[in-house]
A and B are shown apart, each in its own frame.
Chain A
Amino acid sequence: MRRGRNGLLLGATLLAVATLAFWVGRVLGEREPATAGPPALPAGIENATPAPGETPDPTRPELLIKWVNQDAKLPRFDQRINGIEVGPTVQRRGGPCETQRPPVQVDFDQSRGTRVEISPRFLPAGATIRSTLAIMCGQEVAFAEVVYALPVADDLNERLARGESYWDIPRGGTIQIMRFIGEPAEASSIAAARWQAGSINGFPAAIGHPILDEGLGDAEVLVYAGGVLTVVRTGNLSIDTAIAIASGVVQ
């Protein structure tokens, strides 16, 4: 009987000690406030590139610089993709602005109903107009542009700390949509290997993928239809989103 009571007492004491030690450890372990911030950058990361076979970890954005560095080493050169010229030294050419001088900035509303009208049927949530521009050459609006901005999630760091995928968190950026009359040619900084031929609503397209298709770096979708080149340039959005935006502009 007495042995049993002693055993119970010992067990209870052990439990109390364990609980106390656990909470002392927890309090001492909490060296910083719980407000989340990004983890410290690993040494040498700024110049690192991915190891062979390494895949990006969407919960550790501090390591993604390796894929950005790798991309910067890829060659850029002018090429023709699906009949559309792209590359770092490609010159925009053709259209009324070459012959009907000078170009004049006009109210953006004047581009409505013209060949270069921009009325996107799809935009990511939170997109707000940052700027608009329309240029008239002669009697024709020959160039139009709209730039949208996207918000960064206020709780980005907290969501990352909870293990949420970086690709699912709003990370801001801009969406630039340009349409102009001319030949299918536009300058771009996107690496040559990231371009591929495609089709948007049945029209020939050159699709410049972001560094990671999930949404790291710029993507560009160029579509040529009816003598008008449409350029959709996105930052840190997925390639699927960039294509969806372009599909909603070219009709």
Chain B
Amino acid sequence: MTAGSTIRVSCFVAVMIISFSLGFGTAPGRISAATLTVARVNPGPASLNGYITCLWHGTSSPCGTAGDLQALDWSNSSAVHFRTWAFRGAGTGTAYYATKSINNSACLRVRVRLEYPIGTWRGDELYTHTSLFGTDGYTYAITGSTSYQYTSHTIGTSVAPYPNGDLSTCTSSGIHLHQGADGASRNTGTYSSTGSYSDISANSRWQHEWSWYN
């Protein structure tokens, strides 16, 4: 091989490498594909054997009135838990963020806001007649997986009616947990009558569900 042909071959190889790198580096879609996330929130009473005293009614309304029909009244007089199952199509990792804060309406209320990415609203779980437990504004990173993952945090305590805990503007007459939501699907198949429900932390016993593509 002559010196001239060596230079020519070197030129070809160099051009091929540079061009290939340029093409590879500027290729579109170098970010992950959109994948499904499902966030399920289960009932929050302290006991895993829950008891529904009032079926689906409004998140901002007492039993017996209309509204968004997202709320169930649960017997409860102590701790309130945020229980969630998270599906993450992209595999194990943070499925969403859950931030707890005071969100009083006519009654004392704790809100757990679901976001992903942080700063983008996916839904609200609303625990009425509840005072906040723990750090105000604290955000949990909720882990999900392709086979669902369970997480539970204590986020509040049920309070007695005014003047022993709840607000003077609240129409509630007995201590209980009124658990509603904003923008969720409801599990009306499972919760179809008042009465007892065992193991309310099971995945199939979710009360509210949201889903979105990341």
The answer to whether A and B interact is yes
A residues sitting closer than 8 Å to B (CB atoms) are: 10, 13-14, 17-41, 46, 61-62, 64-65, 68-69, 71-72, 76, 88, 92-93, 95, 97-98, 102-105, 130-133, 135, 137, 142-143, 145, 147, 149-150, 152, 156-157, 161, 166, 171-174, 176, 178, 180, 186-191, 215-218, 233, 235-236
A68 to B141, CA, bound (A): 11
Chain A residues lying within 8 Å of B183, measured Cβ to Cβ, are: 130, 149
Number of B residues, CB within 8 Å of A: 71
Does chain A have a CB within 8 A of B48?
no
Chain B residues lying within 8 Å of A143, measured Cβ to Cβ, are: 106, 169
Question: In the bound complex, do residue A29 and residue B23 qualify as a contact, i.e. CB atoms below 8 Å apart?
Answer: yes
CB distance from A171 to the nearest CB of B (A): 4
Contact of A30 among B17, B27, B167, B171 (CB under 8 A): B27
Question: In the bound complex, do residue A17 and residue B19 qualify as a contact, i.e. CB atoms below 8 Å apart?
Answer: yes
Q: Which of B26, B117, B167, B182 has the most CB of A within 10 A?
A: B117
**Chain B interface mostly:** loop
Q: Which of A22, A30, A33 has the most CB of B within 10 A?
A: A22
Q: Which of B65, B115, B170 has the most CB of A within 10 A?
A: B115
A105 to B170, CA, bound (A): 9
Q: Which of B53-102 contact A (CB under 8 A)?
A: 58-62, 65, 67-68, 90, 93-94, 97, 99, 101-102
**Chain A interface mostly:** mixed
Contact of A39 among B12, B32, B62, B65 (CB under 8 A): B32
Does chain A have a CB within 8 A of B124?
yes
Contact A174/B124 with A25-B21, A72-B137 known, Cβ cut-off 8 Å: yes
Question: In the bound complex, do residue A37 and residue B34 qualify as a contact, i.e. CB atoms below 8 Å apart?
Answer: yes
